[in-house]
C-alpha cells in the first residue's frame, strides 16, 4: 500500500514556499535564481526518495523510479506568476514527490511512480514550456523566438541559468498515465463542501479583441450628430455581452471582458479608437462556436448601423477531455478513502492539457480558500492538502497495480 | 474707417506659425523657447503698429493705444497645445494686432483699440493664466502650486524664461469691451456656409469620473454567479449614457465618455476595478442639473442592484453668457460688410470667459475646415480668415465710435 506521510508532505510544501517567498505568497518566475534553486532542491528530494533525478536545460526536473519499465507519472510545475500563491503548481509537484517517495517505501509494485516538475507553465517565456517540449510540440524556432513581455529572451534566460541537461521525451511505453493535483482556483469546492473535484475536461478557450475606429473631435465643439465616436459602438457591444451572453451560455460557460480602453483617452476628446478583450470558455466546442457566431453577427449588425468595428480571434483552444478511465479511477480512489467528490470542468489550462494528447491523463482539484488564485492570498487548509494527496496516492496505487 | 489689410494679416499669421512649426501645425506650449520668441515678435509688431508694447513676467503681451483713455481690447493667446494647429489662439492675436494697427492708420477715433496676447490659455501650467490674472482671480498660492502634468513648476518656467515685466490689471474704465476671434473648432459653419458665428454664450461644463469596485478572480475558474466584476455595472452605465442622454439633451447638449479602463486589465482576470470619465456641456444650467441628477440616480439604481459604483464631479463650470450689446454689435458688423452669420454657443472655454466677468465681452468664430482642432490638420480658408477680421474691425469701429 502507498501510505503518504502528511507531516512530511506539509513540511516539504512549506520549505518549497521559502524559495522566492513574498509576504504570504511566492514570487518564483521561471528561470529566476529562486526558481532554479527550488528546482535543485526538488531534484535533491527526488534523489533522497530513491528516484533517479535529473534536471534538463530548461529546468524541468525528472524523478525516475528505478527498476521498473512501467510507471505512473505524477507532477506539475514549481514556477509561479509574479507575486503568486504558494500552492499553484507547487502542490502538484510535492504530490508527485510524496506519492513517488511513498511508493518507493511501499516496496514492490507492478508499476513504479515517476515524478516530474515542469518548467514555465505560467508562460513567463513560453506557456507550458516543459510539458509541451516533452510531448514534442515545441521546435527550435519557437524556442528562439520566445521572450518575456519585457523583451528578455528565453535563450538568454537559459544561458544565464547555466543549465545543460538533455530533455527527456515522454515515453508512452513506460509512462502509462499522467496525474496532476492542483488547487481549484475557484470557489466551487469550498461552496459544495467536497474534498476533491475530478476533472472531466479542460475547457476550450476563445479569446479575441474587438476594436472600433472613429475620429477624434473636440468633445465641446462638435455636435453629437457630426461625430464618429469609436467608444459608443463598443459600449453597445459591451452591453450585448452583459445582456445576451447569459442566454447563449451552456450554464457552465464563463466569459470575461478583462481589458477595455479608449484612445486618446482624454475627457474632452471624442475617442478616435476603442478596444476590448473578450474571452469565453466551455468544455463543449459547439457552445463556443455558437457564441463566436453571435459575437460576429452582433459586430456585423453594429457595422451595418455605421460603426467601424473589427474582431480578431487571437486564441482558439479546443476543449481537452480527460481520460475516462482515469476519471473513474480518481472517483474510485476518493470513494475508497471516504472523501466527498464531484466532477468539474477546469476553466484554466494546465500541463495535463498537453500530456493528455499522448497518454491517459487526469487531474484532481482540492478546495482553495475563497477561490483565491494567482495571488499571495491563495491558501488551502492543511487537512484538504493532505486529503488530496491521499486520493492521489490511492489512484496511483490502483493504476500501478494494473487494477 | 478701420480698413484692415488682408495680405499683411495673412503674412503675419504665417510668420507667427513658424515659431515652433511642427509639420502643418505648431508646437508652442506656454513658456517654451518658441513661445517666448513668438511673444517677443508680437511685442515688436505692436510697437511697429504704434502701440505702447510691453510683456509681463508671465509672457502676456500688451499693446496699448496711445493718446486715448478709452479703448476696445482685442486679442487671444499665442500658446498652443502640443502638436496643435496654427490658428487656435494665434488667429485672435493677429486679429487684435491687425485691427489695432488699422485703427492707428485710420487716425483719430473717439476710442482706441488695445491689443493683447494672453499666456497659457491651453493650461500647460494654469489654464487661462493670463486672462485670469488680469481680472484678479489668481493669487500667489495658485501660482506657487501650478505645475505641468510632468511635474514642472510654473514658477520654474517663469524663472527659466527670464521674464520680469509687471502684469497689468484690467482697467474697466479704459477698456470698454473685450473682443476675441477664434476658429470654430467644430464643423457647423462649414456645414451651414455662414462666414461668421456670433457667440451668445460659453457652455457650462460638468466633468466627472465614475468608478466601480469589484474583486479580481480567475476568469476561467470562477463561475459567473460567484463573481464581483467591476466592469459589468460600468458597461450598463455606459449603455445608459448611449441610450438615455439623447432624451435628456436640450438638442444643443454635447457629452462624451473620453476615457474608460478596467484594472488589472488582463484578458483572463475578472476586473477588480473600472472607471470612466464623463462630461457634458450646455449653455443652460438647468439642463446640466437635470442630466447630473439622472446620472446620480442611475448610479444609485445600479448600486441598489449590487454594484459598488461612485461618482466624483470634478468640474462644474457655469455657463457664461456673452454681452447682449456685443452680440448685436457683431451681428450688425457682419450685416454691414455683407457676410452670412449665425448665433452659436461655444462648447469650449476661452479667455473671453474670464474677461466677461468684468467688462462687456463677445466672440466670433470663423469656419474651420473639417472642424479640425488641437491637431496639426487644423486649417481655414484664407478668404474666411480675412472675412472674420473684416467683421472684427467693423465691430471695433462701431464700438470705438461709441455708436
Cβ of B221 and A373 within 8 Å? yes
CB atoms A277 and B267 under 8 Å: yes
**CATH number assigned to the domain comprising residue A304:** 3.30.70.360
Shortest Cα distance, chain B CAs vs residue A390, angstroms: 24
Contact A221 B373 (CB under 8 A): yes
Average pLDDT value for residue range B104-129: 93
Same domain, yes or no: A64 and A185: yes
Q: Which of B283, B317, B351 is the last residue of a domain?
A: B317
Q: Is-contact B330 B208, C-beta < 8 A?
A: no
Q: Is A235 close to B257, i.e. CB distance below 8 A?
A: yes
Question: Measured in Å, how far apart are chain A's first and last C-alpha atoms?
Answer: 13
Residue B360: strand pairing partners = none
Contact predicate B27/B83, CB 8 Å: yes
Q: CB atoms < 10 A from the CB of B253, how many?
A: 22
Contacts of A18 (CB under 8 A, 6+ apart): none
Q: Do B265 and A257 touch (CB under 8 A)?
A: no
Does a structural domain hold residue A242? yes
Residues A40 and A105 grouped into a single domain: yes
Residues of A in contact with B249 (CB under 8 A): 224
Using a CB-CB distance cutoff of 8 angstroms, which residues of chain B are in contact with residue A224? 246, 249, 253-255
Question: Rounded to a whole number, what is the distance in Å from the CA of B164 to chain A's nearest CA?
Answer: 34
In this structure, what CATH number is given to the domain that contains residue B18? 3.40.630.10
The residue of chain B nearest to residue A216, with distances taken between CA atoms, is: B372
SS3 (DSSP) at A134: helix
| pLDDT at res. A59 | 98
Among A99-108, B55-64, B211-220, name the most confident range: B55-64
As a whole number, mean pLDDT of residues B33-48 equals: 98
| A336 and A291 co-located in one domain | no
Q: Answer for the pair A272, A264: CB distance below 8 angstroms, yes or no.
A: yes
For chains A and B, CB pairs below 8 A equal: 197
3-state secondary structure of A164: coil
Q: How far apart are CA A354 and CA A77, in angstroms?
A: 13
Residue A375: the pLDDT is: 86
Contact B78, B93 (CB under 8 A): yes
Residue contact B254–A203, C-beta within 8 A: no
Residue A1 within any structural domain of the chain: no
Looking at residues B316-338, what average pLDDT do you find?
97
> Looking at the domain assignment, is residue B361 inside a domain?
yes
Query: Could you report the per-residue pLDDT of B177-192, keeping only the tens digit for each?
Result: 999 999 999 999 999 9
Min CA distance, A275 vs chain B (Å)? 10
For residue B349, the chain A residues in CB contact (below 8 A) are 220
Q: Does B220 contact A184 at a Cβ distance shorter than 8 Å?
A: no
Written as nine digits, the cell of A174 is 513506460
What's residue A110's pLDDT? 84
Q: Report the domain count for chain A.
A: 2
Nearest to B185 among A218, A229, A235 (CB): A218
Q: What's the whole-model pTM score?
A: 0.84
Contact: B222, A186; criterion CB under 8 Å: yes
Binary contact (A266, B259; C-beta < 8 A): yes
A209 and A129 within one domain = no
d(CA A85, CA A73): 24
Residue B107 — very low, low, confident or very high, per pLDDT cuts 50/70/90? confident
* Residue A252: exposure state from Cβ atoms within 10 A (0-12, 13-18, ≥19): middle
In this structure, the answer to whether residues B233 and B375 fall within a common structural domain is: no
Closest to B258 (Cβ–Cβ): which among A260, A268, A277? A268
Tell me, yes or no, whether B354 lies in a domain: yes
Asked if B257's CB is within 8 angstroms of A241's CB, the reply is no
Chain B nearest-CA distance from A354, in A, is: 18
What is the SS3 assignment for A201?
strand
| Shortest alpha-carbon distance between residue A2 and chain B (Å) | 31
What is the complex's ipTM, to 2 decimals? 0.85
Higher per-residue pLDDT: B289 or A218 = B289
Alpha helices in A1-74 (DSSP H): 6-16, 33-48
Closest CA to A348 of A127, A53, A56: A127
Asked if the model's pLDDT at residue B403 lies above 60, the reply is no
Whether A224 and B246 lie within 8 Å, measured CB to CB: yes
Q: How far does A274 lie from chain B, in Å, by closest CA?
A: 9
Q: Considering CB atoms only, which of A185, A257, A259 is closest to B221?
A: A185
**Grid coordinates representing A396?**
496511483
Q: Residue B265 is nearest to which of A254, A258, A349, comparing CB atoms? A: A258
Does B119 fall in a domain? yes
- Number of Cβ within 10 Å of residue A281's Cβ equals 28
Residue B324 makes CB contacts below 8 A (sequence gap 6+) with: none
**Minimal Cα distance from B269: which residue of A?**
A258
The partner residues of A175 in beta bridges, in order of sequence, read: A71
Of the three residues A317, A335, A362, the one that is the final residue of a domain is A317
pLDDT band of B108, cuts 50, 70, 90:
confident
B126 pLDDT band, cuts 50/70/90, is very high
Instruction: Tell whether A25 and A116 lie within a shared domain.
Output: yes
- Tell whether B95 is covered by a domain: yes
Q: Considering CB atoms only, which of B222, B232, B262 is closest to A242? A: B232
Q: Beta A204-213 vs A273-282: how paired, if at all? A: antiparallel
Q: Give chain B positions within 8 Å (CB) of A235.
A: 235, 238-239, 241-242, 257
Task: Kindly determine whether residue A267 and residue B259, on different chains, have CB atoms separated by under 8 Å.
Answer: yes
Give the three-state DSSP class for A256. strand
Give me the domain span that covers residue B273.
204-317
Given pLDDT bands bounded at 50, 70 and 90, which one contains residue B1?
confident
Query: Who among B188, B229, B348 is closest to A218 (CB)?
Result: B348
Q: What is the pLDDT of residue B305?
A: 96
Instruction: Please state, for a pLDDT cut of 70, what percent of chain B lies above it.
Output: 100
Nearest CB to B221; choose among A186, A253, A268: A186
pLDDT on residue B109: 78
- Chain A positions touching B267 (Cβ under 8 A) are 207, 256, 258-259, 277, 279
Contact A90, A97 (CB under 8 A): no
B267/A258 CB distance under 8 A: yes
**Nearest neighbour of B258 by CB, restricted to A224, A269, A347:** A269
Same domain assignment for residues B91 and B121: yes
A161-179: pLDDT as tens digits = 999 999 999 999 999 999 9
Question: What percent of chain B lies above the pLDDT cut of 90?
Answer: 94
- Which grid cell sits at B267? 484578458
**From A187, A258, A349, residue closest to B222, measured CB to CB:** A187
C-alpha cell at A142: 519557437
Q: Which residue from B minimizes the CA distance to A266?
A: B258
Helix residue ranges per DSSP H, A121-230:
129-134, 140-145, 154-161, 188-192
Handedness of CA A186, A190, A195, A199 (dihedral sign): negative
pLDDT at site A401: 86
Going by the DSSP 8-state scheme, the letter that residue A251 receives in this structure is S
Same-domain pairing of B286 and B187: no
CA distance B213 to B273: 5
Three-state DSSP at A122 gives coil
pLDDT at B372: 86
Measured between alpha carbons, how far is A267 from A273 in angstroms, rounded to an integer? 14
Query: Does the distance separating the beta carbons of B246 and A257 come in below 8 Å?
Result: no
pLDDT at B277: 96
- Residue B347 C-alpha, separation from nearest chain A C-alpha, in angstroms: 4
Residues B309 and B346 in one domain: no
Q: Is the pLDDT of residue B175 over 90?
A: yes
* Residue that finishes a domain, picked among A257, A290, A317: A317
Give the pLDDT score at B17: 98
Residues of B in contact with A375 (CB under 8 A): 216
Asked whether the beta carbons of residue B235 and residue A241 sit closer than 8 angstroms, the reply is yes
Q: How many CB atoms lie within 10 A of CB B3?
A: 11
Per residue, the 3-state secondary structure of chain B, as one string, reads CCCCCHHHHHHHHHHHCCCCEECCEECCCCCCHHHHHHHHHHHHHHHHCCCEEEECCCCCEEEECCCCCCEEEEEEECCCCCCECCCCCHHHHHHHHHHHHHHHHHCCCCCEEEEEEECCCCCCCCCCHHHHHHCCCCCHHHHHHCECCCCCEHHHHHHHCCCCCCCCCCCCCCEEEEEEEEECCCCHHHHHCCCEEEEEEECEEEEEEEEEECCCEECCCCCHHHCCCCHHHHHHHHHHHHHHHHHHCCCCCEEEEEEEEEECCCCCEECCEEEEEEEEEECCHHHHHHHHHHHHHHHHHHHHCCCEEEEEEEEEECCEECCHHHHHHHHHHHHHHCCCEEEEEECCCCCHHHHCCCCCEEEEEECCHHHCCCCCCCCCCHHHHHHHHHHHHHHHHHHHCCC
Torsion of CA B144, B149, B151, B156, to 10 degrees: -50
Q: Does residue B135 sit in the same domain as residue B276?
A: no
Nearest-Cα residue of chain A relative to residue B346: A221
Q: Which cell goes with B19?
A: 515659431
Torsions phi, psi for B322 (to 5 deg): -80, 160
Side-chain-facing half-sphere of A23: CA atoms under 13 Å: 9
Tell me, yes or no, whether A165 and A22 share the same domain: yes
Which of A240, A256, A317 is the best residue to mutate to test the B interface, defined by the most B CB atoms within 10 Å of its own CB? A256
Same domain, A172 and A219: no
In this complex, do A279 and B267 lie within 8 Å of one another by their Cβ atoms? yes
3-class DSSP state of A121: coil
Walk along chain A (403 residues) and give the pLDDT tens digit of each residue.
Answer: 899 999 999 999 999 999 999 999 999 999 999 999 999 999 999 999 999 999 999 999 999 999 999 999 999 999 999 999 999 999 999 999 999 999 999 987 789 999 999 999 999 999 999 999 999 999 999 999 999 988 999 999 999 999 999 999 999 999 999 999 999 999 999 999 999 999 999 999 999 999 999 998 889 999 999 999 999 999 999 999 999 999 999 999 999 999 999 999 989 899 999 999 999 999 999 999 999 999 999 999 999 999 999 999 999 999 999 999 999 999 999 999 999 999 999 999 999 999 999 999 999 999 999 988 888 999 999 999 999 999 999 999 999 886 5
Which chain A residues touch B255 with a CB distance below 8 Å? 219, 224
Q: CA B172: distance to chain centroid?
A: 23
Question: Exposed/middle/buried for A293, CB within 10 Å: 0-12, 13-18, 19+?
Answer: exposed
Interface probe, candidates B268, B277, B302, B307, chain A, greatest A C-beta count within 10 A: B268
Question: Residue B1: inside a domain, yes or no?
Answer: no
Residue A126 cell numbers, joined: 513560453
Asked if residues B203 and B390 have their Cβ atoms less than 8 Å apart, the reply is no
Amino acid at each position: 500500500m502507498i501510505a503518504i506521510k502528511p507531516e512530511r508532505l506539509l513540511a516539504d510544501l512549506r520549505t518549497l514556499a521559502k524559495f522566492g517567498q513574498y509576504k504570504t505568497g511566492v514570487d518564483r518566475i521561471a528561470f529566476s535564481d529562486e526558481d532554479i534553486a527550488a528546482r535543485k532542491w526538488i531534484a535533491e528530494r527526488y534523489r533522497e526518495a530513491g528516484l533517479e533525478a535529473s534536471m534538463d536545460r530548461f529546468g524541468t526536473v525528472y524523478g525516475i523510479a528505478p527498476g521498473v519499465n512501467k510507471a505512473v507519472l505524477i507532477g506539475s510545475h514549481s514556477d509561479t506568476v509574479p507575486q503568486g500563491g504558494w500552492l499553484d503548481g507547487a502542490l502538484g509537484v510535492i504530490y508527485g514527490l510524496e506519492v513517488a517517495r511513498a511508493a518507493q517505501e511501499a516496496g514492490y509494485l507492478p508499476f513504479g511512480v515517476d515524478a516530474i516538475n515542469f518548467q514555465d507553465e505560467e508562460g513567463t517565456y513560453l506557456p507550458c514550456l516543459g510539458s509541451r517540449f516533452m510531448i514534442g510540440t515545441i521546435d527550435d524556432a519557437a524556442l528562439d523566438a520566445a521572450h518575456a513581455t519585457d523583451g528578455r529572451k528565453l535563450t538568454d534566460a537559459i544561458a544565464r541559468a547555466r543549465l545543460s541537461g538533455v530533455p527527456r521525451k515522454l515515453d508512452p511505453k513506460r509512462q502509462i498515465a499522467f496525474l496532476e493535483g492542483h488547487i481549484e482556483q475557484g470557489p466551487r469546492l469550498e461552496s459544495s463542501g467536497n474534498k476533491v473535484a475530478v476533472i472531466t475536461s479542460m475547457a476550450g478557450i476563445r479569446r479575441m479583441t474587438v476594436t472600433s475606429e472613429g475620429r477624434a473631435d473636440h468633445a465641446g465643439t462638435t455636435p453629437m450628430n457630426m461625430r464618429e465616436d469609436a467608444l459608443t459602438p463598443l459600449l453597445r457591444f459591451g452591453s450585448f455581452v452583459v445582456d445576451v451572453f447569459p442566454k447563449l451560455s451552456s450554464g457552465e460557460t464563463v466569459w470575461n471582458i478583462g481589458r477595455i480602453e479608449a484612445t486618446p483617452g482624454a475627457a474632452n476628446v471624442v475617442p478616435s479608437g476603442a478596444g476590448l478583450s473578450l474571452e469565453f470558455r466551455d468544455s463543449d466546442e459547439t457552445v463556443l462556436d455558437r457564441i463566436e457566431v453571435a459575437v460576429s453577427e452582433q459586430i456585423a449588425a453594429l457595422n451595418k448601423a455605421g460603426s467601424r468595428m473589427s474582431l480578431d480571434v487571437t486564441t482558439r483552444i479546443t476543449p481537452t477531455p480527460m481520460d475516462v478511465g482515469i476519471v473513474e479511477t480518481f472517483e474510485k480512489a476518493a470513494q475508497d478513502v471516504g472523501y466527498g467528490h464531484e466532477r468539474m470542468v477546469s476553466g484554466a489550462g494546465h500541463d495535463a492539457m498537453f500530456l493528455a494528447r499522448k497518454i491517459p491523463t487526469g487531474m484532481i482539484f482540492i478546495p482553495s480558500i475563497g477561490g483565491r488564485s494567482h495571488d499571495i492570498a491563495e491558501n488551502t487548509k492543511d487537512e484538504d492538502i493532505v486529503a488530496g494527496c491521499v486520493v492521489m496516492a490511492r489512484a496511483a496505487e490502483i493504476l500501478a497495480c494494473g487494477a
